[in-house]
Amino acid sequence: MLTKEDIVDQLGRLNIANKVVCFHSSFKSFGDVQGGPQTIIDAFLESGCTLVCPTFFYSAQTYPARINYLNNGIDYESVPEMCSVNYMGATSQIEPSMGVIAKMLLGIEYTTRTKHPTNSFAIAGKDKALLLANQSPFNVYSAYKAIYSENLPALVILAGVDFESCTPIHYAEELAGKSLFRRWAVQNGQVVEVEEGSCSDGFESLRPYVNKIESEIKIGDSLVRVYNFHCLVDTIAEAIVRDPSITHCGIENCHRCNDMVRGGRNKA
């Protein structure tokens, strides 16, 4: 049975105090944890870091405007006309695929969720305020931009998940000069236009490019991959610039991958 003290001890080897930790996890990967997902959250925050976890919610997406942006990763013929789900920022409005740790973090009183109806992030910890600047539906990765532009010490930690769950890679696509897509969602009864990243199903093929900057530790049963945030996004952005198709998931008619390989949404 993994205890909070065990986790704090392991995290001590990663020196996470005073760092931002972009954390992507499968709770099951840890094995038995005394006290459940809350224990993991407590161990990170008591170690002195600021946690950032994606808390995406897809069910409120809609396409009512049918604004025909070019190269926007959509087959407009095949999308539903209107959805009935209204995103109101409720803590229950999160995809199961985000994991139970992110879901639990979202429900804690000291957590702030960024203002984005489909691609929000839950942020908690001492440097939370630094990461909340400039957030908007048109600036989906504002927290990552704050880490990058303010040169905040930061790690990307993947616990029992791979690069398909590694949202900072979408920010690396932006750094590589790609233009993110536009989507629409129902938020508080209104249709709002938002910025979103692309398909992540092919991201694990980037792994060979980051071998030299990857470290691995075990926490309980979980194999945990750790990267310096800045090294990771810079290395991956360089790889994407050299080979724009490297992020493609391999599915021939994946509109998001096909359009992102071509540079993303055409802003003209």
Interacting residues toward Zn ion by CB under 5 A: 199, 201, 249, 254, 257
Cβ at position 192, least distance to Zn ion in Å: 25
Which CB atom, from 162 or from 214, has the smaller least distance to Zn ion? 162
Residues 6 or more apart in contact with residue 38 via CB below 8 angstroms: 104
Which CB atom, from 10 or from 247, has the smaller least distance to Zn ion? 247
Which CB atom, from 103 or from 256, has the smaller least distance to Zn ion? 256
Which CB atom, from 94 or from 249, has the smaller least distance to Zn ion? 249
Cβ at position 247, least distance to Zn ion in Å: 8
Q: How far is the CA of 148 from the CAs of 11, 35, 61, 126, 175, in angstroms?
A: 23, 34, 29, 18, 10
Cβ at position 127, least distance to Zn ion in Å: 33
Cβ at position 99, least distance to Zn ion in Å: 21
- Beta pairing class for 50-54 and 215-219: unpaired
Instruction: Using DSSP, state whether 184 is helix, strand or coil.
Output: strand
> Where do the DSSP E strands lie in 5-151?
20-25, 50-54, 61-62, 112-113, 121-125
Q: Which two tokens stand for residue 100?
A: 């139970």
> Which residue in 1, 7, 5 sits closest to 33, CA to CA?
1
Cβ at position 167, least distance to Zn ion in Å: 15
8 A C-beta contact, residue 180 and residue 69: no
H or E, element range at 46: helix 37-46
Rounded Cα–Cα distance for residues 97 and 100 (Å): 8
Cβ at position 245, least distance to Zn ion in Å: 11
Which CB atom, from 105 or from 169, has the smaller least distance to Zn ion? 169
Which CB atom, from 92 or from 253, has the smaller least distance to Zn ion? 253
8 A C-beta contact, residue 170 and residue 232: no
Q: How far is the CA of 243 from the CAs of 170, 237, 265, in angstroms?
A: 15, 10, 18
Which CB atom, from 203 or from 227, has the smaller least distance to Zn ion? 203
Cβ at position 250, least distance to Zn ion in Å: 8
